[in-house]
Structure 1
């Protein structure tokens, strides 16, 4: 700790767009420094990169296949604000700088997924990441080491991901008619499906109720229930002079099961469970939560498909959200021993915290700040 230490604690580990972050930056300086400014940085960005194949034309009849790369980056949050400044430099000691910051509304949820195709070697990767950091600005003092600290922020896709309970999803229905020789009506088949909720954590299972009402004079050939993931990436290849974003879509069946079929003139209700926590495939594991960024989008649907003779398949789809893993860095954080000796410093400007907030439940879990009883 000879060079000092910075630690950051926020009021919780997960947020949604529009939430206010309450927290404190803890700074321990064993000796004074001529550096004059302590800054807080809040960052959020999305990155999309993927390989694609194109044909290079040279001459009249020479066509050479090539692999290029499209990429794009967009800032979602970019805040860099002074927490404290002293023209004479920062004094030795231990200090706590409470702050508050409201996130922009409608932020996409965090995301990270990377895949390399074993056959072609083509790679795609997508990232949506947020973090909060603090550092002592050593600009103009090149001999002074840069003292900094950072912690990740987990942003959820929407308010429904933050709630402990979700609304009951609507039942999805579809029907089909069986016709032999394209005209002889052999009856109808009715399909309905309901999932138990609309938001799932990566370790949970999806419970699905499938109702097949077979009013036709033929047996149902079979049925499949799938969890389908669709990832859409947008990017440009600047080396080829592209200016408009192009899209790359990756569609995967994450998990699939086949419930019992239904004989003619009969009704069957099937209870199906898709176990997310049993997925071990690197390609299909639920490491990619739902998100709706400008460059990176990831959606999930439960697809119920009934296969019928002499008729198109009958299909219903139900969208759902899958949340990211908890913020384990936040959960495992423990205050350094010197935090209990910190002197609270009033922060002014856009990050300042009113006294009634400092003594409220918003700061109850932040060391050094206790709510009034």
Structure 2
């Protein structure tokens, strides 16, 4: 190549410029040859990298065939905190694929969402106004999150069935499974306490073979399941006597769909009747999201029974079916708590009602591990017991039962507290305590009952006789189920669905 350089001015500068140009061109040739060899080496490296990436992509981004299935089997349907979970990841492979391993993930969390409607004032002076704003409060908390690699090897998976056993121990203190959504006057709300197990065959991003199932976790009940007892009493302003009610449950923890038997011992020393007895299940939720709290109370179920007569003294057994759609109890959560109360309400006309409250815990549906098998369906209930005679309706009595005197405005009606018959005032002048009928203070009795009442009285029904008859009916009932329930024949004494009257 020839370069022609034209320089205006001194001719010696033109010669010097020409020499400098030739030197620069020679240096450019040397640099160009070095760059070419470097580019060739770089292309070789890039080619090898592309081949490697292509090989990875070939295995990684090919979607797995949907005919391949995976699922998880557990050793039991429910757990409590501290239990050891044992299970198996099952996999059916119909179409071969490449996998990197098998993972099992465990997760427990609670999540609360509360909606708040708030009135706020905006603006100043004449532009001042009140607006309603809706604020969302959210709270999330994880109890635990763990991952177990049950098969760490990678390779091609050939058609067939595969099983991968695993074990995991739950933390010792966990709230029970709970899920509730609803709306009240303050806004919508949502509370969840969930536990999940997720099995994954690691194939590639977004192409893994996955299966997720929920765990049912109940609160630990070391000291929780025990008999429940409560009592309450009330006096009346314009009537002498009291109403005393005692209530028992053979246990305070049940499952949705189970039948509980509420035992009542009632002593009514007044002339006030009770129109009805109601059993109500109250649900109480305590929700918290950051600094915002809300307590929600409502009656979720109610069942009514016949009331009692004046001066009733005895026992009642009220069967109560727990609805299957009630959510389980959960009281150990930090942001969501759910609890139940069983209220026994006595509807008293012309007076404030009497209520007896019993704590009630509902477990999530599960198999109860117990030495005592479940009772056959429809087992008979213990009979009601009345220690006092039935109260005679004074509206149907026109004359005294002893002297046959007609009643009037000045000759009023009186009940004998032993036989409960209606007499006039002269025939019930005598008073004495009746200890066997729970009258510790002197009460009116008729002339015929006075000698017996002085010695403590005589009960109208015998609890022992009723218990013997009840036991016989239970034996006959269980005899019908010995073939269907083999464990009944192995019991020395038939199990009773409730406590027999005493």
Aligned partners of 1:56, 1:50: CA distance in 2, in Å? 18
2:306 pairs with 1:260: yes
Answer whether contact 2:231 2:356 (CA < 8 A) is retained.
yes
Match of 1:295 in 2: 335
Match of 1:85 in 2: 152
CA pair 218-159 structure 1, distance change in 2 beyond 3 A: closer
- Secondary structure of the 2:81 match is coil
- Secondary structure of the 2:305 match is coil
Match of 1:175 in 2: 233
Match of 2:76 in 1: 12
Deviations 1:286-338 (A, max 9, x none): 341111222211111111233557875433211111122349xxxxxxxxxxx
Aligned partners of 1:272, 1:299: CA distance in 2, in Å? 22
| Alpha-carbon distance, 1:42 to partner | 0.6
Match of 2:321 in 1: 275
Q: Which moved more, 1:216-225 or 1:247-256?
A: 216-225
- Secondary structure of the 1:46 match is strand
Equivalent in 345, 348, 360 of residue 320 of structure 1: 360
Match of 2:498 in 1: none
| Alpha-carbon distance, 1:78 to partner | 0.7
| Alpha-carbon distance, 1:137 to partner | 3.5
| Alpha-carbon distance, 1:218 to partner | 3.8
| Alpha-carbon distance, 1:133 to partner | 1.4
Answer whether contact 2:275 2:349 (CA < 8 A) is retained.
yes
Aligned partners of 1:145, 1:171: CA distance in 2, in Å? 57
| Alpha-carbon distance, 1:82 to partner | 2.3
Match of 1:153 in 2: 215
| Alpha-carbon distance, 1:17 to partner | 0.7
Aligned partners of 1:211, 1:127: CA distance in 2, in Å? 39
Residues 125-274 of structure 1 aligned to structure 2 (within 5 Å): 125-138=190-203, 141-142=204-205, 145-159=207-221, 167=226, 169-180=227-238, 186-220=240-274, 223-236=277-290, 244=291, 246-274=292-320
| Alpha-carbon distance, 1:115 to partner | 1.9
2:107 pairs with 1:67: no
Q: Which moved more, 1:91-100 or 1:200-209?
A: 91-100
Aligned partners of 2:268, 2:365: CA distance in 1, in Å? 41
Aligned partners of 1:21, 1:200: CA distance in 2, in Å? 23
Number of residue pairs matched by the alignment: 296
CA pair 65-273 structure 1, distance change in 2 beyond 3 A: farther
Match of 1:336 in 2: none
Aligned partners of 1:26, 1:223: CA distance in 2, in Å? 53
CA pair 219-145 structure 1, distance change in 2 beyond 3 A: closer
2:65 pairs with 1:2: yes
Match of 2:458 in 1: none
Answer whether contact 1:179 1:310 (CA < 8 A) is retained.
no
Match of 1:105 in 2: 172
Answer whether contact 1:260 1:270 (CA < 8 A) is retained.
no
Q: Which moved more, 1:42-51 or 1:268-277?
A: 268-277
- Secondary structure of the 1:159 match is coil
Answer whether contact 2:228 2:250 (CA < 8 A) is retained.
no
RMSD: 3.0
Unaligned segments of structure 1, at least 5 residues? 237-243, 278-284, 328-373
Q: Which moved more, 1:205-214 or 1:39-48?
A: 205-214
- Secondary structure of the 1:259 match is strand
TM-score normalised per structure 1: 0.70
Deviations 1:334-369 (A, max 9, x none): xxxxxxxxxxxxxxxxxxxxxxxxxxxxxxxxxxxx
CA pair 212-260 structure 1, distance change in 2 beyond 3 A: farther
Aligned partners of 2:180, 2:350: CA distance in 1, in Å? 41
Answer whether contact 1:229 1:299 (CA < 8 A) is retained.
yes
Aligned partners of 2:261, 2:281: CA distance in 1, in Å? 12
Quick check: which one's strand share is greater?
A: 1
| Alpha-carbon distance, 1:72 to partner | 1.2
Deviations 1:168-222 (A, max 9, x none): x133112223334xxxx82222110112432222112332122221123544465
Answer whether contact 2:228 2:359 (CA < 8 A) is retained.
no
Q: Which has the higher contact order (CA 8 A, sep 6+)?
A: 1
Deviations 1:24-57 (A, max 9, x none): 2234554352x53432101111111122221122
Quick check: which one's helix share is greater?
A: 2
| Alpha-carbon distance, 1:268 to partner | 4.7
